[in-house]
Amino acid sequence: MLSSFLKFFSILISFGALEASSAINETYTSAKDPNLSKDFIYQGEYTGETHGAQVISLGNGHFQAVLFPGGLPGNGWDKKNKSLVSGTLVENSVILKNAEGERSYLAKDPSLFSATKLFPPPGHKLFSGSIESEIMTLLGENGEKLHLKKIIRESPSLGKKHPENAIILFDGSNKDEWVGGRIDPKTKLLHTDGKDIISKKKFNDYHLHLEFLLPYRPSARGQARGNSGLYHVSMYENQI
């Protein structure tokens, strides 16, 4: 069986602009870009004792945070209930207020935006508060207090050395194992350039460690924010 010699392989792919629109005038591909808007530092995941939160930058100082009771997805969330709060950047803080009014899923206008298809979502509770210095503080209508800190979750396989005799499909030095794609000479990342790339070897059984980069497009919505995918055995997709 193939797993006897293929235990793990690592591939680093940079998925660039796969869906373009003339309305998208903000596209950043580096967190060190000197022109990166201040909004970027507030987007991301936050976690506390009883809740997790994902903050979405909507452009021009507007945000929406999705609150998950129990913890972040994959780390305690009950997979059912959510609450939404809207945010506005004021100097060095994001002021958070309960999301209310008529809202539509992924609406372009931040005042109409909903991160959930149903608004309000199941389990929605009223919260208000702020984000400052990577700390989110919230107060619920029933007096519930939440204190969440920004985190960056990393895969336990990140930086892991590949097993002995593993087949290395990509390590930044060449793309000999691939049909299609382009290596950036500066970053050594493998780019798809919006087209399919396929491994030359075919596999039945394997462990996959995949690292990828997406652009930062706060003014875009849905898949236009950055969209690609990885197909296993030409059938099962991990959408990115």
Decide if 88 is inside a domain: yes
At 198 the pLDDT is: 94
At 224 the pLDDT is: 94
At 62 the pLDDT is: 98
At 24 the pLDDT is: 52
Q: Show the domain range for 143.
A: 38-151
Decide if 109 is inside a domain: yes
Q: If DSSP states are collapsed to H, E and C, what string results for the chain?
A: CHHHCCCCEEEEEECCCCCCCCCCCCCECCCCCCCCCHHHHCCEEEECCCEEEEEEEEECCEEEEEEEECCCCCCCCCCCCCEEEEEEEECCEEEEEECCCCCEECCCCHHHEECCCCCCCCCCCCEEEEEECCEEEEEECCCCEEEEEEECCCCCCCCCCCCCCCCCCCCCCCCCCEECCEECCCCCCEECCCCCCEECCCCCCCCEEEEEECCECCCCCHHHHCCCEEEECCCEEEEC
Amino acid found at 101? G
Decide if 228 is inside a domain: no
Decide if 174 is inside a domain: no
At 25 the pLDDT is: 64
**Domain total for the chain?**
1
At 218 the pLDDT is: 96
Decide if 211 is inside a domain: no
| pLDDT tens, N- to C-terminus, the chain (240 residues) | 333 333 334 444 444 434 444 445 689 988 999 999 999 999 999 999 999 999 999 999 999 999 999 999 999 999 999 999 999 999 999 999 999 999 999 999 999 999 999 999 999 999 999 999 999 999 999 999 999 999 999 988 888 888 888 888 988 899 999 999 999 999 898 888 888 999 999 988 888 888 888 899 999 999 999 988 889 988 999 998
Decide if 60 is inside a domain: yes
Decide if 201 is inside a domain: no
At 166 the pLDDT is: 84
Question: Which CATH number is 112's domain given?
Answer: 2.40.128
Decide if 146 is inside a domain: yes
